[in-house]
Amino acid sequence: MTSSLARSTTYSFGSICLGSLIVAIIQALREIANQAREQGRQNGDGAQILACIAECILGCIQSIVEYFNKWAYVYVGIYGYKYIEAGKNVMALFTARGWEVVIADDLVGNTIFLVTLITSLLMGGIGILVELSTDWFIDAGDSAQIVAFA
């Protein structure tokens, strides 16, 4: 892991910057579309519909590029590929696996979120039990249970 970190912050830093630049350009274009939509709303003309469509399309592209970058950065950090070469390898991986990697990644994220949510609720419940059985939260007044849950 330390060798990947060292490679990412030294030799491959330009590749990571290139991926970030692409996302930044898309974000800037999306913000321009957002400003055009707001201006169209104030002027009451039909341009706001086109700006809204452009903003939606750019939002989708931004999500795809950010997801793609995550995988490309892994290739850059682990294998030391240039950004374009890493992107090609990521696409080859996705094609060879039939996008199973993408589906598995999405399922893992949802599973981790669910486990985190359940654990948080259990810990909040334990906090309320502690609040009811002790006087540790006496300074919180009426909101003692909320403070204990949090």
pLDDT at 25: 92
Contacts of 4 (CB under 8 A, 6+ apart): 77, 78
The answer to whether 52 touches 37, Cβ cutoff 8 Å, is yes
* 72 vs 86: CA distance, rounded Å: 5
Q: What pTM was computed for the model?
A: 0.56
pLDDT at 105: 65
* 83 vs 13: CA distance, rounded Å: 10
pLDDT of residue 57 exceeding 70, the answer is yes
pLDDT at 28: 92
Token pair of 107 as six digits = 């399922």
- Between 2-6, 107-111, 119-123, the lowest mean confidence (pLDDT) is in 107-111
pLDDT of residue 106 exceeding 70, the answer is no
Mean pLDDT of 52-72: 84
pLDDT at 103: 61
Mean pLDDT of 47-51: 77
* CB neighbourhood size of 87 (10 A): 21
The answer to whether 118 touches 101, Cβ cutoff 8 Å, is no
pLDDT at 107: 61
Mean pLDDT of 111-123: 84
The answer to whether 144 touches 131, Cβ cutoff 8 Å, is yes
Using the structure block, give the residue that is written with the tokens 């540790």: 136
